[in-house]
Structure 1
Amino acid sequence: MSTARFLQIHTLHTYTAALLNRDDTGLAKRLTYGATSRIRISSQCLKRHWRKAEDPHALSTLAGYVDAYRSRELVTEKVIEPLRGRHPDDVVNALEPEFQKLVYGDKADKGKKSRQTLLLGESELTWLAAEADRLAAEAPDAKAAAKAAAQWVKGKNVSVLAQNTALPAGVTGALFGRMVTSDPGANIEAPVHVAHAFTVHAEEAEGDYFTAVDDLKKDEDDSGADTIQETELTCGLFYGYVVIDLPGLIKNCGGDADLAGRIVHHLLYLIAEVSPGAKRGSTAPYGRADLLLVEAGARQPRSLAGAFRRACRPDVEEALRVLDGHLAHLDATYETGEARRYLSLAQTPLSSPEGSGLERLSLKALAEWAAAQVGTGADA
């Protein structure tokens, strides 16, 4: 088996009469590509649904999982509030400004809006809370607490929180990285790269005029709706693309290739089965992948989005033929030699370039194959 540095995951998903990802006006997000307006799902939206999924293959079900929280209130909620009732309020209040500055930077004590939304792992927050508890217990009064906190924080930054844990920002940080503007040394490079998904065809959207009737209305002369509103509904066949840098993932897992493999296994299930979507109660925006193509190789990744620069018909069979043809041209030109496996609901099979070992598998078998590639990437 050739050494795999990257896994590339290409998907086709169908969603009907849904509003998957809204912009600031409440309309579906869009992208103009090939002079054609498409419906779009942002990478942030996709990643959040994969991270927060309550699913048999949720990341939180993994042995070795470490939780993480993204917020501007990490110190307030996870470090300071647990001290209240255990130590005098004035002592606790005296500690908070220094801990806020340690995590969020010099301007953090000016209020929530002055702070960066930051990701910290459970282990980092547990250590920080223990230090705050110790300082509060040792301080005879508020003045002493403030002085002790200032002395303790001196010379420290967010990087110090990560020194005693293999997963400083939890599994979330190990997958999607983190950026800390106040302390670049605490940054984590994301080994999972997620593209914005877009429809392979021109946008299909319409305004949905809807009403709500007051069940307790007694005025017989007023038979109209109590509420009248309008929203947008869209339909589409979406192309999605994810890249996993295997050595980077293993590094972020503290060198634990077994954990990295289990993460990849679960992530394949989440990408295939977990649907993004707002307005779930009125649109039921649930669907599973029509296609999941996984490639393992050592060469620089490349998206197959170019297959759909010219919008095709909103048909899975046609989209699969267009994708397959584009991939064949890339193979003939660049000869990158990726190993490939896929699942598909379409009747049209993918072609099998010589040496790729292309097989059509179930999701279970595909996830197991993808996880097995992690070991081949350990020394890439």
Structure 2
Amino acid sequence: MSSPRFLQIHTLHSYTAALLNRDDTGLAKRLTYGGASRTRISSQCLKRHWRMEKDDPHALRHLAGYVDSFRSRELVTLRVIDPLRGHYPDEIVNALEPEFQILVYGDKADKGKKSRQTLLLGEPELTWLAQEAAALAQASSDADSAKKAAAEWRKSKNYKTMSENAALPGGLAAALFGRMVTSDPAANIDAPVHVAHAFTVHEEEAEGDYFTAVDDLKTDEDDGGADTIQETELTSGLFYGYVVIDLPGLIANCSGDKEIAARVVHNLVHLIAEVSPGAKLGSTAPYGRADLMLIEAGDRQPRSLAGAFRRAIPHDLDHAVTELDRHLARLDQTYETGEARRYLSLADTDLTAAGGLEKTSLKALAEWSAERVKDAPDA
């Protein structure tokens, strides 16, 4: 096989009596596929849990060279302007703020929070902005001079100037999952990690959960029964998940450093396998690890294996592995793309496509994936 350009990560995860990802009505997210309604976990939900994980030993923030980032409409207010208050007169600080809001969020950003796009900025960009704001405040004698100096300052500033001399200006989250800035298209960062919505391989399994809360301080004279009565939805499912990593794109976003990119992939494989995208932790304990993880390295355009589950199948891991294996074998026979593969599995049924695949542990699978980054072509 030639130098791998893509890593494709396929997973099967089981969750029971959980509400992993809700819509605006409080019900589980769904999609219809193959004529059957399935339970869904959105890609945004998955990415956020992998990005925000703090306690796992493989959390991205534990990586050497990690650069933090923050997503908000109030990045300028909270990280650039508010730290100046108490050190400089409020009238000077207030005069500076509109120009900084416009630089980051665009022409109408000084009209208030609702006029701003929710943006992701890296720690280096925010640090630079805070230093520039402090310098302007220091040099200003009153509100008028501050306003004039800030307007003149902004004329020659853009996202490029914010990012100079920083290896990961937008932070690691932007390097992985990208960034879109409508006020400055040159600040956009292409996402090298592409995440599909996960869905159940079988028809949705859901029920309403009627529950009550009892007032512990009620006396015998009070009316009996529950103090609170509510209902929520619980679902169970075996979810197919799919992630693609564009290796040259990831390496480029890591400033060409393959070592950093390899460490990122190593930890991301662990996070995808082990971090659950679950809410309602106290009442459902929605924790699970991958029942199956198949990783492919190749130089051809990626393709999902979701077609294995176009026809809803029974909620059974061995059945799902069999269907995945059959679909993979048909793709190999038809397209002969020659990906290198490794996988882990808790199923009794093994993957046998392409004459058999090497079955291994998560630790070995993550290490194998990291090595493929080092073999990848440069961007």
| 2:232 match | 231
Aligned CA-pair RMSD: 1.0
Q: Is the 8 A contact 2:305 2:328 kept in 1?
A: yes
1:142 positional shift: 1.2
Distance in 1, Cα, partners of 2:353 & 2:327: 13
Q: Return the alpha-carbon distance in structure 2 between the equivalents of residues 99 and 351 of structure 1.
A: 58
Q: 1:91 matched to which residue of 2?
A: 92
Higher alpha-carbon deviation: 217-226 or 41-50: 217-226
Residue 83 of structure 1 contacts residue 133 of structure 1 at CA under 8 Å; is this kept in 2? Answer: yes
Unaligned stretches of 5+ residues in structure 2: none
Q: Indicate if the aligned counterparts of 1:257 and 1:378 stay in contact, CA closer than 8 A.
A: no
Identity of aligned residues (%): 75
| Structure 1 counterpart of 2:3 | 3
Residue in structure 2 matched with residue 154 of structure 1 by the alignment? 155
Aligned partner of 1:326: which letter?
Answer: H
Do 2:256 and 2:378's aligned partners in 1 also have CA atoms closer than 8 Å? no
Partner residue of 2:35? 35
For residues 169 and 378 of structure 2, what CA distance do their matches in structure 1 show?
A: 22
Give the 3-state SS of the residue equivalent to 2:290 in structure 1: coil
Q: How does 1:40-59 map to 2 (within 5 A)?
A: 40-54=40-54, 55-59=56-60
User: Hey, what's the Cα distance between the residues in 2 that align with 1:96 and 1:300?
Assistant: 46
Q: Which amino acid aligns with 2:43?
A: S
- Structure 2: how far apart are the matches of 1:191 and 1:166? 16
Give the whole-Å Cα distance in 2 for the aligned partners of 1:133 and 1:219: 64
Match of 1:363 in 2: 362
Contact kept in structure 1, 2:247 and 2:373, CA below 8 Å: yes
Q: 1:378 Cα shift?
A: 3.0
Please show how residues 249-264 of structure 1 align to structure 2 within 5 Å.
249-264=250-265
**Residue identity opposite 1:363 in structure 2:** L
Mapped contact 2:326–2:353 kept (Cα < 8 A): no
Q: Tell me how far 1:113 sits from its aligned partner.
A: 0.5
How is 1:78-227 mapped onto 2 (pairs within 5 angstroms)? 78-227=79-228
Asked whether the 8 Å contact 1:250–1:378 carries over to 2, the reply is no
TM-superposed CA distance for 1:253, in Å, is: 0.3
Q: Which residue of structure 1 lines up, in the alignment, with residue 63 of structure 2?
A: 62
Secondary structure at 2:347 match in 1: coil
Q: Could you tell me which amino acid in structure 1 is paired with residue 237 of structure 2?
A: G
| Residue identity in the other structure for 1:73 | E
Distance in 1 (alpha carbons) for counterparts of 2:222 and 2:89 = 63
* Superposed displacement of residue 147, structure 1: 0.5
Provide the secondary structure at the position in 2 that maps to 1:182. Answer: coil
- Distance in 1 separating the partners of 2:87 and 2:354: 66
Deviation at 1:177, TM superposition (A): 0.3
- Matched positions, count: 378
Deviation at 1:278, TM superposition (A): 1.3
Q: CA offset at residue 358 of structure 1?
A: 2.5
TM-score by length of 2: 0.98
- Runs (4 or more) in structure 1 with deviation over 4 Å come to none
**One-letter amino acid of the counterpart of residue 209, structure 2:** D
Secondary structure, counterpart of 1:231 in structure 2: strand
**Structure 1 unaligned blocks of 5 or more:** none
1:169-189: CA deviation from partner (whole Å, max 9, x where unpaired): 110000000000010000000
State yes or no: 1:268 paired with 2:265: no
Deviation per CA, 1:218-258, whole angstroms, max 9, x where unpaired? 25351110000000000000000000000000000001110
Q: Distance in 1 between matches of 2:300 and 2:161?
A: 35
CA distance in structure 1 between the aligned counterparts of 2:163 and 2:302, rounded to whole angstroms: 30
**Could you give the per-residue CA deviations for residues 20-74 of structure 1, whole angstroms, max 9, x where no partner exists?**
0000000000000000000000000000000011210000000000000000000
SS at match of 1:244: strand
CA distance in 2, matches of 1:220, 1:18: 37
Write out per-residue CA displacement over residues 306-353 of structure 1, whole angstroms, 9 at most, x where no aligned residue: 000000110000000000000000000000000000000011110141
Q: Which moved more, 1:169-178 or 1:357-366?
A: 357-366
Structure 2 CA distance for aligned equivalents of residues 158 and 105 of structure 1: 11
Residues in 1 aligned to 2:219 and 2:353: alpha-carbon distance in whole angstroms: 68
Paired with 2:71 and 2:86, the residues of 1 have a C-alpha distance of 26
Q: How far does residue 83 in structure 1 lie from its aligned partner after superposition?
A: 0.7
- Contact 1:340–1:358 (CA<8 Å) still a contact in 2? yes
- Matched to 2:293, the amino acid is L
The answer to whether the 8 A contact 1:193-1:243 is kept is yes
Query: Which residue is equivalent to 2:21?
Result: 21
Distance (whole Å) between structure 2 residues aligned to residue 268 and residue 255 of structure 1? 21
Q: Distance in 2 between matches of 1:160 and 1:223?
A: 67
Match for 1:224: what amino acid?
G
Q: Is 1:376 matched up with 2:378? A: no
Q: CA deviation at 1:163?
A: 2.1
- Distance in 1 (CA, whole Å) between partners of 2:221 and 2:291 is 50
Contact 1:291 1:344 in 2 (8 A): yes
Q: Could you list the per-position Cα deviations for residues 116-135 of structure 1 after superposition, in whole angstroms to 9, with x for gaps in the alignment?
A: 00000000100110000000
**2:252 and 2:378 in contact (8 A); partners too:** no
Asked whether the 8 Å contact 1:65–1:171 carries over to 2, the reply is yes
The whole-number CA distance in structure 1 between the counterparts of 2:111 and 2:128 is: 24
Contact 1:70 1:117 in 2 (8 A): yes
Deviations 1:80-112 (A, max 9, x none): 011111111111111000000000001001100
Partner SS for 1:168? coil
